[in-house]
Amino acid sequence: MQRIAWIAAVLLAVSCSKPVAEPPAPAAPPAPGPKPAVKGKKTAASEYLTYTVPAEWVSEEPANEMRKAQYRVPDRKGKAGPAILTFFTFGGPAASLESNVERWREQMGGADAAISKIQGSACPATLVDLTGGYAGDSGGSPIENARFLGAIVEAGERTWYLKFVGPADTVSGWKDAYVDMIKGIRPIE
């Protein structure tokens, strides 16, 4: 009996000498679920232009000083190589549509060009569509079965030239997204 009394006294002493423990902190709220898929990423070509590109398009360092923005665009089906989208501006108004189309036709081996105005765009824009063999330029290699979508966009006091070129399957798979991106181009004021 003395032994039980002694153990009870020790337990009482120990429990009285320790501070009362704080109740445990509430559990952290659960981590948020996955974010919804990104439909596009808003970006700018230098300090002059704003637009939104699909999330799959990868921004790259422009290959030369003439390029104001550059994107690597993967094939949606994963079968063809990537395409390249480049933005150019030289300030001021556009050179003639005919001179730009002729230069782009030469890059595509003299291919016939389909030319149309882009309806519903924030800035006046013209689309030039060519297929054939792409001869390449300072930032690329020749491509046998290529498609070239060129756009001339009058945004504010500048004219922008967008070249979207690569394997025909890659460019064709993104044509609607390319046109949608052009429709949303706006000058930064």
pLDDT score of 186 more than 60? yes
Res. 139 pLDDT band, cuts 50 70 90: low
Nearest to 71 by CA among 40, 38, 109: 40
| Average pLDDT value over all residues in the chain | 80
Do residues 131 and 157 lie in contact, with contact meaning Cβ atoms separated by under 8 Å?
no
> Class for domain 41-187, per CATH?
alpha beta
For 89-112, the pLDDT digits (tens) are 887 666 788 999 999 999 999 999
Residue 179 has pLDDT above 80, yes or no: yes
* Concatenated DSSP letters of 88-149: EE-SSS---HHHHHHHHHHHTTT---EEEE-TT-SS-EEEEEEEEEE---TT---EEEEEEE
Q: What confidence category does residue 189 fall into, taking pLDDT thresholds of 50, 70 and 90?
A: confident
How far is it, in rounded angstroms, from Cα 4 to Cα 176? 86
Position 48 scores a pLDDT of 84
Cβ partners under 8 Å of residue 48, min gap 6? 68, 89, 155, 156, 158, 187, 188
pLDDT of the residue at 33: 29
- Domain locations in the chain? 41-187
